Amino acid sequence: MSDNSLRLVWIYPDLLSTYGDQGNALVVERRARQRGLDVARVDVRSDQPVPTSGDIYLIGGGEDRPQRLAAERLRRDGGLNRAVSNGAIVFSVCAGYQILGHEFINDLGEKEPGLGLLDVVSTRGEAARCVGDVLADIDAPLRLPPLTGFENHQGVTHLGPTARPLARVRFGNGNGTGDGTEGAYNDTVFGTYMHGPVLARNPLIADLLLKLALDVNALPPADDRWYEALREERIAAATQPA
């Protein structure tokens, strides 16, 4: 791994890769390479230590038992928390998003402590599972076009006072609290319920992670033709549910 390569760490694909979560890693990697960056991608299995020197960490979705196992192992390891205190960027989805918060409900129906990297608390929803296309407006300071994603979860996530909502839904459920929020972020730590995978439908979020990691304001343009076509189609699908 050369010193000036971007270090991309994918956390626990053996436990948290149920919904094509590798896609987010592939999109970040591809868009970095298209900008001429070297990328060193490390996939960390749950019996391996989490490296603390990564630039961007990705953590995906999973079912209830693997989610508990992942939380236990990440707490014991401590590497992800150390990486964040060193300024690393974290992007999390669904079960991974819940793990980054203060607590969530595990497969045994008990409160499971999270990593406390996001000021959120998750519970299990009483209502039907949220499944379908989502359209949401991303929090204005992030200056990004609308969020399009596919949600497939039963969790409900409440934001604490220091977390900002990643977006506000126009169509769909998002955090499932009924207040219209979707996802959350604190500084360099992001969480969302969106699959798709979400970065394949929102490549400018992938670019935002790259800009934060590189500490730059802009990146050279990329060919976004197919992403744009897909976004247009899925945004239309969200606004006209079947």
Partner 1 sequence: MAGNSEPLSPRAKLAVTAGRAAAAASRAVGRGSGSVIGGKVSLKLDPDLLGRLAAHLDVVLVSATNGKTTTTRLIAEALRAGGPVVSNALGANMPAGITSALAGGSDARFGVIEVDEKYLAGVAKDVTPKAIALLNLSRDQLDRAAETRMLAEKWREGLAGNKAMVIANCDDPLIAWAASSSPNVIWVAAGQAWKDDAWSCPSCGGVLQRPADDWFCGECGFRRPMPSWALSGDHVVDPHGSAWPIHLRLPGRANKANAATSAAVAAHFGVPPQVALERMYEVRAVAGRYDVVTFHERELRLLLAKNPAGWLETFSLIDRPPAPVVLSVNARGADGTDTSWLWDVDYTQLAGHPIFVLGDRKLDLAVRLEVAALDFRVCDNLDEAVRAAPPGRIEVIANYTAFQDLRRRVGN
For residues 148 and 175, which CB has a smaller minimum distance to partner 1 in the complex? 148
Q: What are phi and psi of 78, to 5 degrees?
A: 75, -10
The verdict on whether residue 129 carries a ligand-binding annotation is yes
Whole-number minimum distance, CB 137 to partner 1, in Å?
22
Closest to 175 (Cα-Cα) out of 201, 198, 154, 190? 154
> Is 152 buried (19+), middle (13-18) or exposed (0-12) by CB count in 10 A?
middle
Whole-number minimum distance, CB 31 to partner 1, in Å?
9
Write out the residues near partner 1 by the rule CB under 8 A. Answer: 13-15, 17-23, 26-27, 30, 45-47, 63-66, 69, 131-132, 150, 152, 195-197, 200-201, 226-227, 229-230, 233
**In which element (H, E) is residue 151 found?**
strand 147-153
For residues 36 and 141, which CB has a smaller minimum distance to partner 1 in the complex? 36
Give CA–CA dist 23/191, Å, rounded.
16
Q: Which of 102, 153, 158, 195 is catalytic?
A: 195
For residues 22 and 177, which CB has a smaller minimum distance to partner 1 in the complex? 22
Whole-number minimum distance, CB 230 to partner 1, in Å?
4
For residues 60 and 165, which CB has a smaller minimum distance to partner 1 in the complex? 60
Whole-number minimum distance, CB 233 to partner 1, in Å?
5
Q: Are 52 and 18 contacting, i.e. CB atoms less than 8 angstroms apart?
A: no
- The yes-or-no answer on residue 130 being catalytic is no
Tokens of 111: 């409160």
* Torsion sign, CA atoms 55, 212, 118, 191: negative
189-192 vs 89-93, strand pairing mode: parallel
**Active-site amino acid positions:** 94, 195
Binding site for substrate: residue ranges?
A: 129
Binding site: residue ranges?
A: 129
